[in-house]
Amino acid sequence: MPSFHFETTPRIVCERGAALRLARILQAGGQRRAFLVTDPGLVAAGLIDAPAATLRAAGLHVTVYDRVEADPPEHVVLEAAQAARDDRADCVIGLGGGSSLDTAKLVALLAAHPQPLADIYGPQRARGPRLPLIQVPTTAGTGSEATPTSVVSTPDHQKRGVISSLLFPDVAVLDAELTAALPPGPTAMTGIDAMVHAIEAYTTRHKKNPMSDMLAVRALQLLHGHLGGAVRQGGNLDDREAMLLGSLLAGMAFANAPVAAIHALAHPLGSHFHVPHGLANSLVMVPILRFNLPVAEGAYAELARALDPGLRDAADAEAALAFIAAMQAHVAASPIPQRLRDVGVGESDLPVLAEAAMTVDRLLMNNPRDLTRDDALAVYTQAF
């Protein structure tokens, strides 16, 4: 058995309606001034009103910061952190999708301990302490509530990550009722994103371990079994809750066994063309799975058997191909763009994307098969 270290969010609450009971958690910790980080879409949809109202009814001061953008740019993170300092916040709540949760992590850190973002990109460079942090996801995708990473868009169109154990939240709150109104397209995008987390954690070249394997397999079983239902019938809270739990477990897995080439090739699509992260992953997932097949056949076969007991006696080659076909079927059945050309990418953009992908070495190094610029171009060409 390999030596390994495993870290995760220390407290997890999975309970319908839990977002209306956040005051109990804060009061138990002695917090009185909450800074709630979210995005304008959730405010417009009314999803913030009830949680904020219950906090205020319990006597807490609540400030709602609702200017988070997709793939949060540096200036938004810094603006939010300054607003939290000005407000004398003593705790931070992230409520929303991955961008809100990632922003909330850095707000909790920078409000308590200001430091230049450029100094803390990369692993374990951030300095604490930070403010107490609660994360409440409204999508089942990023798993940010269980990871030590916050991804930020830089002015030069790069996506940089702050990776630090300080960014694990104190509490993750999974409330399926918050996800019931998510439309089919975003439900599919975020669900596929979570499946990619599980797949890449299971097949990563570095830090793969028994704990991450166990979590990745169970995550993939939940996501594979409930994504279709969540997309077709979003109000089914059983499907929604299974998706949230699957996303969290996948986040726990890849926080300790890092993701690889699918994410590396997805990043330029977000930074250059503002393609939502989950959609970007879905567009390149199957070509990367095919590329990795020569060296990942055994791992893909294991995942296939975990999803379909009927493949228990199948040879690795057959089971691995069945796994890729199952993942391809999820993408094909989803009401989302299917090709790069459908999201504004031109054929002349493909070499630029390939060059940009090769700069994401921190993820490419984890891929089970070495990937060159020509390989990246071939993947983008398949996806085009």
Asked whether the predicted pLDDT for residue 372 surpasses 90, the reply is yes
Coil, helix or strand for 273? helix
What are the structural domains, with CATH classification, of the chain?
11-179 (3.40.50.1970), 184-383 (1.20.1090.10)
Cα gap 374→380, rounded to integer Å: 10
Per-residue model confidence as pLDDT tens digits over 100-139 = 999 999 999 999 999 999 999 999 999 999 999 999 999 9
Tokens of 303: 């995942």
Question: What is the pLDDT, as a whole number, of residue 159?
Answer: 83
Question: What is the pLDDT, as a whole number, of residue 97?
Answer: 95
Per-residue model confidence as pLDDT tens digits over 324-337 = 999 999 999 999 99
Per-residue model confidence as pLDDT tens digits over 25-36 = 999 999 999 999
> Radius of gyration (Cα) for the chain, nearest Å?
20
Pairing type for strands 91-96 and 33-37 reads parallel
Cα gap 141→146, rounded to integer Å: 11
The model's confidence at residue 1, banded by pLDDT at 50, 70 and 90, is confident
Question: What is the pLDDT, as a whole number, of residue 59?
Answer: 97
Per-residue model confidence as pLDDT tens digits over 244-267 = 999 999 999 999 999 999 999 999
Tokens 């001061």 sit at which residue?
Answer: 61
Cβ pair 91, 34 in contact under 8 A:
yes
Asked whether the predicted pLDDT for residue 377 surpasses 90, the reply is yes
Question: What is the pLDDT, as a whole number, of residue 71?
Answer: 85
Coil, helix or strand for 160? strand
Tokens of 34: 């909450």
Question: What is the pLDDT, as a whole number, of residue 55?
Answer: 98
Element (H, E) at 151: strand 149-153
Question: What is the pLDDT, as a whole number, of residue 272?
Answer: 87
Per-residue model confidence as pLDDT tens digits over 134-160 = 999 999 999 999 999 999 988 887 888
**Among the ranges given (39-48, 195-204, 230-239, 269-278), the one the predictor scored with the smallest mean pLDDT:** 269-278
At 58, which amino acid appears?
A
Q: How far apart are the first and last CA of the chain?
A: 41
Peptide bond into 129 cis (omega under 30): yes
Question: What is the pLDDT, as a whole number, of residue 129?
Answer: 96
Cβ pair 175, 136 in contact under 8 A:
yes
Q: What is the mean pLDDT of the chain?
A: 96
pTM: 0.96
Question: What is the pLDDT, as a whole number, of residue 5?
Answer: 93
Per-residue model confidence as pLDDT tens digits over 172-212 = 999 999 999 999 999 999 999 999 999 999 999 999 999 99
Burial class (CB in 10 A: 0-12, 13-18, 19+), 114: exposed
Q: List Cα–Cα distances, 240 to 134, 216, 370, in angstroms.
A: 20, 18, 36
Question: What is the pLDDT, as a whole number, of residue 108?
Answer: 98
Asked whether the predicted pLDDT for residue 271 surpasses 90, the reply is no
Question: What is the pLDDT, as a whole number, of residue 117?
Answer: 97
The stretches of the chain forming alpha helices (DSSP H) are 22-28, 40-44, 49-57, 74-86, 98-112, 117-120, 184-203, 210-232, 237-256, 261-273, 277-307, 316-333, 350-357, 361-364, 373-383
Cβ pair 173, 135 in contact under 8 A:
yes
Main-chain phi, psi angles of 31, to 5 degrees: -80, 145
